[in-house]
Amino acid sequence: MSAEYATFGLAPAMRAGGVLTNGDYQVHRDFVDFIVDGRPLLFQLSDLDAVSPLASDVPPAIFTAQVRGLLLEAEAPPADGRYVIYGCPECENIECGAVTAVIEKDGEDFVWRDFAWQTDERADLELNGYHGIGPFRFHGTEYRDALSSLLDGGSGPRRRVLLIGARVAVLAKLAAALRTIGIGADITHDATAVPADELREYGAVAFGRAVGEKERAAVRQSFARAGVEVAYIDGLAPIIPLLVAQTEHALDRSPEERRRLTRLVAADGEAGIEVTSTCRVRLTAYRLDRLYRTHVHEVFDDVLEAGRHRIPLDPKATKGESFVVARTSGSVLVAAMER
């Protein structure tokens, strides 16, 4: 069987959730991505909004079955022996579209071949095949060790956020928005009395702008005494979609060198962006006027090639106190407009 050897690995990844400008919500998903020859396989499949079957929010029995399937230790899929490699992040229906591939053994090696975009029971390789992807041959030991490590259990991503601030109404709206996209959120004014076991459930702490340094230091000490490392978020402004984006960025546990969106700078009426692979990038500007009313502007939505880009922004969208959110399917960055 003709297939060149490739390295196989796994890495944490994220499908970024968020509150969209049209009022819709995008669900947050943590999953394990496939790393082929040192690069996420998802990045080789154009600008695809999808997650692998190895998602952290699926029941343990289903997660184990997915791993066993990839190891060819479970019953083969009914249609052509094809396995779902990436699927819809919002549901599990094949009708939404999925990337599938044939997985088979050749001696001790595992081979992934005939990648295709599939929307029904049969894949049309001629019409919907990814002709430039694969086949990949993986050394059996490397492949089995990587996937078997997922069956050892261990703690998954901590997807709860502790919210601390003076504006209860804002915190309540933020907590509701986070829960809607799949992130747990709790509100407190004092974390010193929270048991260590409970603190270990949090992956991030978000401070409102009115929280003083003394209160922040006390919270940090509580987590330090519990031996818990969390990301700390300094809320930029009482704008719910902006705070959700900051939280998404803080919860991103994927290695920085394997993210698509790696840089965002907002200054002098333009945004500086760096992406590591071709992908769709959306820029949204939020600003507060003198009466603290929020104004939202979609300022950019297009596909960018890998590299650094400078994007002019509409002056109306960035006057006064303003902020820019850059979003791809798997990454979110936030920056305050500098002047």
249-290 pLDDT per residue, tens: 999 988 888 899 999 999 988 999 999 999 999 999 999 988
Q: Is residue 156 part of a domain?
A: no
Distances (CA, A) of 103 to 82, 177, 288: 7, 39, 53
| Same domain, residue pair 194 and 241 | yes
Tell me the pLDDT of the chain averaged across its residues. Answer: 89
Angle at 42 between CA 138 and CA 107, to 5 degrees: 15
Domain span at residue 256?
A: 161-334
Tally of domains within the chain: 2
Secondary structure class of 324 (helix, strand, coil): strand
Among 124, 150, 176, the domain-final residue is 150
| Same domain, residue pair 256 and 284 | yes
- Whether residue 193 is predicted with pLDDT greater than 80 in this model: the reply is no
Of 222, 238, 337, nearest to 284 by C-alpha is 337
In this structure, are strands 332-336 and 294-304 parallel, antiparallel, or unpaired? unpaired
- Whether residue 157 is predicted with pLDDT greater than 70 in this model: the reply is no
| Same domain, residue pair 240 and 130 | no
Which residues have C-beta within 8 Å of that of residue 331, sequence separation ≥ 6? Answer: 14, 16, 249, 252, 259, 260, 261, 262
Question: What DSSP state is assigned to residue 230?
Answer: -
Of 80, 92, 146, 89, nearest to 116 by C-alpha is 80
The strand pairing partners of 103, in sequence order, are: 112
Read off the pLDDT band of 77 (50, 70, 90): confident
**What is the rounded average pLDDT of the residues 10-19?**
90
Prediction pTM value: 0.85
